[in-house]
Amino acid sequence: MKIASMLNSLETFLTKLGGWLRCPLLLVLRLYWGWSFVQTGWGKLMNLDRTAGYFASLNLPAPKLNAIMAGGTECIGGALLALGLYTRFATPPLIFCMIIAYVTAENEALHAIFSDPDKFTGAAPFMFLLTALIVFAFGPGRLSLDALLRKKTEGN
């Protein structure tokens, strides 16, 4: 019984520690990857002809329009992600963009998801996709504008 009690106490402690780390972890993920989204989106928009040419080489329809849509989604969605503002609205379009990136530009890595997982996780969209999924699933955390707005709304 003593070992079970010790394990229970340890689990309680680790659960509290994990809960304490949740908000800072979400903040770091949002800031780093949100800013990374902004930078990649901005790069697409500032080099629109090059991006459209790349999209055309992937046989995407309306490559210039798709370049504008992808760049705009990454810029705006990334900024919202970094700020923790409207994150549950911002993350689905980011997730969609990263899935499209896998399907088009990283198709080989996508098909290697089970046979060569390192190839899948090493592809450029992986961390962007993972971060957007994490923030969508868990929310932006208490250190976000969403939390501040929710607090103000509930306080009125």
pTM of the model: 0.90
Distance from C-alpha of 61 to C-alpha of 69, rounded to nearest angstrom: 12
What Å distances lie between residue 84 and 29, 51, 116, CA to CA? 11, 28, 34
Residue 156: pLDDT band by 50, 70, 90 thresholds?
Answer: low
pLDDT digits (tens, 9 = 90+) for 22-45: 999 999 999 999 999 999 999 999
Q: Give the single-character DSSP code of 142.
A: S
pLDDT digits (tens, 9 = 90+) for 92-127: 999 999 999 999 999 999 999 999 999 999 999 999
* pLDDT surpasses 90 at 153: no
